[in-house]
Structure 1
Amino acid sequence: MYSKTLDNFADVAAVKAAFSRDKPLAFFISSMMAGAYVGIGIILIFTLGQQVDPSLRSLVMGACFGIALTLVIFAGSDLFTGHTLFMTVGVARGSSDWAGLVRNWVMSWVGNLAGSVLLAWVFWLAGGGQVLKEGADLIYTASAAKMNAPALALIARAALCNWLVCLAIWTSARASSDAAKCILIWWCLFAFIACGFEHSVANMTVFSLALFGNHPPSVSFGGMAYNLLWVTLGNIIGGAGFVGLAYLGASPKEAGETLVATQVPATASAR
């Protein structure tokens, strides 16, 4: 039932593993673009969130974050959280090895961070808009809450987050039309933002913006490192485990696939 999608993802993993190995600079630049694309979504939702009533904030911010993954998928770039799914399937299907997985994850994560910081710096140079203006506090309160949350809570929220992000990637890959892909991406990202889950790459821009601004003592580089450590771990659990390994486990065995394949023509001819 899911073998075709898994085979396609295994092919993607092989391409991404070769890309990061053979053209590391190009892969790093592509990863930077993904970090920046997610950061554009963060700037958008915090701009809007700063201006709406708190009772509507989760709804508005969640409804507007779909631009992030839409840009990543349709423009093309390399997002760490998506690669937790691709590379897990690739290793399981034999199209990549563990060395390729580790190299891909590390390079995409660092590239995403570089792109996020660069975007935040340019936005700060531009004046910070509604996000960093005098009296705006949403970016600081959100950052402080993320930086001081318990480790287990961060891991759990991050696992739930990347479950949804990778489901957006999985379902959009199985959809046939661009409109359907966009709707699926929108729903999954709406859910993760509105529910307050944790995405490592999104947090990179959130924290960078807060640190560039006039932040309180509760926002720090140490807090950023603390959050990203646990959230990255949780994102791996969500993408690799809850989606990648789950669908690998739910796929028919090779013998079962052969049996189904031999039955289909007979069933069709009987109609």
Structure 2
Amino acid sequence: MAYLAPQEFVAKMIDAGESKVFMSTRDTLIRAFMAGAILALAAAFAVTVTVQTGQPLVGAILFPVGFCLLYLLGFDLLTGVFTLVPLALIDRRPGVTAGGMLRNWTLVFFGNFAGALLVAVMMAIIFTYGFTEAPNAVGQRIGTIGEGRTVGYAAHGAAGMLTLFIRGVLCNWMVSTGVVAAMMSTSVSGKVIAMWMPIMVFFYMGFEHSIVNMYLFPSGLMLGGQFSFMDYMLWNEIPTVLGNLVGGITFVGLTLYSTHARTAPKRGLPAPAPAAHYAPAE
């Protein structure tokens, strides 16, 4: 499991951010669509495991399989590009502009949403036998998740919004650490082990991930959740996206960049003491 030094994988982070800015619209959308779809399937899998075993920890341990797969396949999540692309701008890579960064973020957002929404429709069909009967136990659980994490926050007003935002920040602190962890090793096993740990933490702790929510909440609406699309956008998706942005760039991107790519000058060492001179013995 060959390990790369921080200076090496931070250089890879900047290079990755630069390449995403210049990626074609087609490729950006395809990679974002597939990332959203695979992560949505992993979320459906984790909720199913949690409901069937009654053990949330088991679902959290298994959820990272989707994250690992999508990054090994070279697909992109909004949470990842929030961290990587700004580094290319800060590093003043030629041709990288704020407009190019915002273009990438926008395309990835809509690609992720489309992929997650497709899986939400497919899974809702499975949970209800094509909308011909009430949702099964897993479908009912997804509906209650949507209620608790929209109107549940709204019931607390500004304090609920602050809690939601902070959960978004903490989420992408962990998720972006997983993105970076994939660059720490040159072997598949090393990448998977490094990615698995922070993703498991975020999922078990119930932090808010904008792309996971692109699956859970539209799916919840289809499965009878007692909340509206506007509840979802105002009391989850928008604040979560903002929290994910702050968490990824602040606690992962900028910290690693500032200390490993733009390391501060070392403090001066004390000057060596002058050599002692001894008179020759007579």
Rg: which structure is higher? 2
Q: What is the aligned counterpart of 1:12 among 16, 24, 36? A: 16
Trace 1:129-140 onto structure 2 (pairs within 5 A). 132-133=135-136, 136-140=139-143
The amino acid across from 2:22 in the alignment is A
Give the Cα–Cα distance (whole angstroms) in 2 for the partners of residues 62 and 83 of structure 1: 23
Q: Is the 8 A contact 1:6 1:89 kept in 2?
A: no
Q: 1:49 maps to what in 2?
A: 50
Distance 1:253 1:33, change over 3 A: closer
Q: After TM superposition, list the pairs within 5 Å mapping 1:229-240 onto structure 2.
A: 229-240=238-249
- The aligned counterpart of 1:102 is 102
Amino acid at match of 2:18: A
Unmatched runs of 5 consecutive residues or more in structure 2: 154-159, 269-282
Task: State the partner residue of 2:168.
Answer: 158
Choose which of 171, 176, 195 in structure 2 pairs with 1:185.
195
Q: 1:255 to 1:212 in 2, by over 3 A?
A: closer
Aligned match of 2:27: 26
1:145 aligned residue = 148
Distance 1:134 1:171, change over 3 A: closer
**Of 51, 69, 87, the match for 1:89:** 87
- Matched residues in 2 for 1:26 and 1:208: separation? 25
Structure 1 residue 60 displacement after superposition: 1.3
Paired AA for residue 176 in structure 1:
T
TM-score by length of 2: 0.82
Amino acid at match of 2:233: A
Aligned ranges 1:213-228 → 2 under 5 Å: 213-215=223-225, 217=226, 219-226=227-234, 227-228=236-237
- Report which stretch shifted further, 197-206 or 185-194: 185-194
1:250 to 241, 259, 282: 259
1:67-123 per-residue CA deviation (whole Å, 9 max, x = no partner) reads 121122111212110001111211111222211111111110111011110111122
DSSP-derived class of the 1:77 partner: coil
CA displacement at 1:166 relative to structure 2: 0.7
The Cα of 1:34 is off from its aligned counterpart by 0.8
Kindly indicate whether the alpha-carbon contact (under 8 Å) linking 1:34 and 1:112 is maintained by their aligned counterparts in 2. yes
> Structure 1 residues 254 and 222, CA, compared in 2 at 3 Å: closer, same or farther?
closer
1:71 is matched with which residue: 66, 69, 72? 69
- Look up the match of 2:183: 173
Which segment drifts farther, 64-73 or 195-204?
64-73
User: Residue 257 of structure 2 aligns to which amino acid in structure 1?
Assistant: L
Distance 1:32 1:252, change over 3 A: closer
When the two chains are superposed, the root-mean-square deviation of aligned CA atoms in Å is 2.2
Q: Write the distance in 1 (CA, Å) between the matches of 2:254 and 2:35.
A: 24
Distance, in Å, in 1 between the alignment partners of 2:229 and 2:220 is 10
Partner of residue 276, structure 2: none
Cα distance, 1:60–1:29 mapped onto 2, change above 3 Å: same
- Aligned equivalents of 2:120 and 2:252: distance in 1? 31
Checking the alignment, whether the CA contact within 8 Å between 1:159 and 1:236 is kept in structure 2 is yes
For 1:133, the aligned partner's letter is N
Q: What percentage of residue pairs aligned between the two structures are identical? A: 26
Residue number in structure 1 paired with 2:125: 125
Q: How many residues align?
A: 249
